[in-house]
Amino acid sequence: MLERLIEKEIYDHFDVHQNKVLIVTGARQVGKSYIIRHVCKKRFKNYIEIDLHEDKLGNKLFENVTTINDFYLAISSGFGHKLGDSDDTLIFLDEIQEYPNLLSLFKFLKQDNKYQYVASGSLLGVTLSKTSQIPIGSIKIMKMEQLNFIEFLLANGFNHDAINQIRDSFLQEKSLNEGIHNRMLNLFKDYLIIGGMPDAVKTYLETKNLYAVREIHRDIFDLYMMDASKYDLEHKLKIERIYKMIPSIMGNIKKRIVVKNIEDKKGARYNHYVDEFDYLINSGIATEVKAISNPTFPLLQSTSKNLLKLYLNDVGLLSSILFRNNIKAIKDDNKSINLGALYETMVANELKSKGYSLYYYDNKKRGEVDFIIDNFDNLTIVPIEIKSGKDYQIHSALNNMIKSNEISTKKAYVFSNNREVNIKNNIVYMPIYYISFL
């Protein structure tokens, strides 16, 4: 079984936050149902799992449930023999977006305290963003992503002690020895190819068959577009168009979405596609990075433009589209191939998995920097530049940011394939895999 770091968080929730219903959100195929099932079957004597998508297609037991008595009747009609008490009974409501009416019941179900509950769903992020009757004080939302690079290391034989030692080296701004560096960099490149979707990682580890892994990537990419078919035709076509644009945009110098290209309409504006962008982001299938021209801490309050970068939620999906089964360019650092799109996609999702809100610096006078994040320890911002080639010390826009008296930053980072950690003019040069410990 693949080790997922969220497992401990789910255990801790039932030990500490029993007064709230746990809701696990995230894109399809990231392993939400699997990890909930794994934890709760071990944690509770009586485990009840209800797939509300199947219920909607079949018996529709929960379709008109509006009170807790209605809910108890629906549960007991199928699972009465498994119902114990609050300490030993867990009810898992999967695909709960099929019945948003159940979300408003959570407050009363927890007050009644008959059982413990957890909910999840493939498009739950979209539902939560559009539902006004969510009992905020009665739920705890936990976001789940695909395997990040640390989880990928664990899947490939690293133990927690080794990872903690590498983390210590990062914190002390020390280089790894050449042997460990080569191992880490090789696995980083494997991650660019395989990505973090659990089915893809598991298939790779068991078979080492890239063709089978790429089939999984294609199926997931297609599945994400099929989900948009639940919208009306006009929205569906716009969502599909934007989603298909993302890989091709990655090859541009400026990787932001150009809204006039979505439907080839002159004069098109960002606000014409707000619903489509919200769907892609809230469903978890795209990662957003917003533009800021004059960043100050906290970045949320900085003046931002209607400029947006969107990255696919998994670097394996992108490498499948861009390179298919040809992995030589990635593994051998082919100079004629620009791998910047893969590196940036990996970093965007790695930072997202750690809870960062992502921005990038876009200033006509000073240039563009790949990412900016908040540093809440010293109340400053942290610029980050990602380099896939050997010219990692060339970054004029980053230099301009560091020199500017208008921007509050004490430290910037450049991540590249280079092994040595160096510090120059408040810029820390680090190997690319250290991004996982930022």
3-state percent breakdown (helix, strand, coil) of the chain, nearest 5: 50, 20, 35
Measured CA to CA, the distance from residue 298 to residue 374 in angstroms comes to 6
Query: Are 139 and 153 within one domain?
Result: no
Query: Are 245 and 381 within one domain?
Result: yes
- Does some domain include residue 21? yes
Sequence-distant (6+) residues with CB within 8 A of 354 are 148, 438
Query: Are 78 and 188 within one domain?
Result: no
- Does some domain include residue 431? yes
Query: Are 246 and 322 within one domain?
Result: yes
Domain-ending residue, one of 102, 121, 143: 143
User: Residue 43 sits in a domain of what CATH number?
Assistant: 3.40.50.300
**Prediction pTM value:** 0.93
> Tens digit of pLDDT for each residue in 242-254?
999 999 888 777 7
- Does some domain include residue 1? no
Query: Are 342 and 400 within one domain?
Result: yes
Domain-ending residue, one of 76, 108, 143: 143
User: Which segments of 40-195 are extended strands (E)?
Assistant: 46-51, 89-94, 116-120, 139-143
Please tell me whether the peptide bond between 298 and the residue prior to it is cis, using omega within 30 degrees of 0.
yes
- Does some domain include residue 74? yes
Query: Are 254 and 176 within one domain?
Result: yes
Query: Are 89 and 204 within one domain?
Result: no
Domain-ending residue, one of 143, 176, 200: 143
Beta-sheet pairing, 21-25 with 412-416? unpaired
Domain containing 290: what range? Answer: 149-437
Using an 8 Å Cβ cutoff, are 368 and 397 in contact? yes
- Does some domain include residue 330? yes
Query: Are 346 and 389 within one domain?
Result: yes
Query: Are 31 and 45 within one domain?
Result: yes
- Does some domain include residue 345? yes
Using an 8 Å Cβ cutoff, are 354 and 372 in contact? no
- Does some domain include residue 23? yes
> Tens digit of pLDDT for each residue in 144-190?
999 999 999 999 999 999 999 999 999 999 999 999 999 999 999 99
Query: How high is the pLDDT of residue 336?
Result: 65
Each of the 438 residues of the chain gets a pLDDT tens digit; together they read 899 999 999 999 998 867 889 999 999 999 999 999 999 999 999 999 999 999 999 989 999 999 999 999 999 998 988 999 999 999 999 999 899 889 889 999 999 999 999 999 888 878 777 766 677 778 899 999 999 999 999 999 999 999 999 999 999 999 999 999 999 999 999 999 999 999 999 999 999 999 999 999 999 999 998 887 776 667 888 999 999 999 988 877 778 888 999 988 888 888 899 989 999 999 999 999 999 988 888 998 886 667 889 999 999 999 999 999 888 889 987 776 779 999 999 999 999 999 999 999 998 888 899 999 999 988 999 999 999 888 888 898 899 888 877 677 889 999 999 999 999 989 999 999 999 999
Query: Are 349 and 215 within one domain?
Result: yes
* Strand partners of residue 49: 92
Query: Are 76 and 155 within one domain?
Result: no
- Does some domain include residue 238? yes
Conformation bin of residue 426: beta by default, left when phi > 0, alpha when psi is -120 to 50: left
One-character DSSP codes across 208-242: --HHHHHHHHHHHHHHHHHHGGGS-HHHHHHHHHH
Number of domains in the chain: 2
Query: Are 80 and 138 within one domain?
Result: yes
Measured CA to CA, the distance from residue 46 to residue 229 in angstroms comes to 37
